[in-house]
Amino acid sequence: MVLLKVLRKTKAREKELRLLMLFRLSVWDVGGQRTIRAFWRHYFECTDGLIWVVDSADRERMKICREELHRLLKEERLAGIPVLILANKQDVPSALSPEEIKLALGLDAMASSRHWAVLPCSAKQGTGLLEGMTWLVSDIANRVFIRL
């Protein structure tokens, strides 16, 4: 509240206001193996965003991936949080495109209930990761902070 008062006073006196917002991220890498899924709920508390990594080259497991994602997003403590889907292994020629992943995961069904994005990446080449994190942090910031 104090920061908001200071910003309002500063804005009234100045023509331009520059504000640097720094974010502290706590990131948990939780595996997707069947034996680990039961423990996912232990990481939900205070979650502001979710990153779901998809193996774009593994077409056979896309149905399981869809079922688990939709099951996870039904959790009450994850209601309304933005979801970043990283379509990994885009360096593999047979990989599904982000658009194909969107369809395979049935993301249009949740279009009105939460923000989400499917972005291409390659962990091997190190591409797309910065863009994904930028989208997620920006979406969280737009939801959490008041626009002046």
Q: Is residue 88 part of a domain?
A: yes
- The confidence band for 93, taking pLDDT boundaries of 50, 70 and 90, is very high
Q: Residue 98's domain spans which residues?
A: 36-144
Q: Residues annotated in the binding site for GTP, as ranges?
A: 32, 88-91
Q: pTM for the full model?
A: 0.76
Share of the chain above pLDDT 90, in %: 34
At 76, which amino acid appears? E
Provide CB contacts within 8 A for 44, sequence distance 6+. 75, 77, 78
Strands 116-120 and 83-88: parallel
Q: Would you say residue 3 has pLDDT above 60?
A: no
Phi/psi of residue 54, nearest 5 degrees = -115, 135
Q: Would you say residue 1 has pLDDT above 50?
A: no
Nearest-angstrom CA–CA distance, 105 and 45: 25
Residue 74's pLDDT is 86
Residues marked as catalytic: 33
Report the pLDDT averaged over residues 23-51.
67
Q: Is residue 57 part of a domain?
A: yes
Q: Is residue 85 part of a domain?
A: yes
Per-residue model confidence as pLDDT tens digits over 108-118: 877 677 899 99
Stated as kind and residue range, the H or E segment containing 87 is: strand 83-88
Q: Residues annotated in the binding site, as ranges?
A: 32, 88-91
Q: Is residue 19 part of a domain?
A: no
We report the CATH number of the domain holding residue 126 as: 3.40.50.300
- The confidence band for 51, taking pLDDT boundaries of 50, 70 and 90, is confident
Q: How many domains does the chain have?
A: 1
> Which among 25, 76, 81, 77 is positioned nearest to 52, based on CA atoms?
81
Q: Is residue 13 part of a domain?
A: no
> Which among 25, 28, 18, 19 is positioned nearest to 136, based on CA atoms?
25
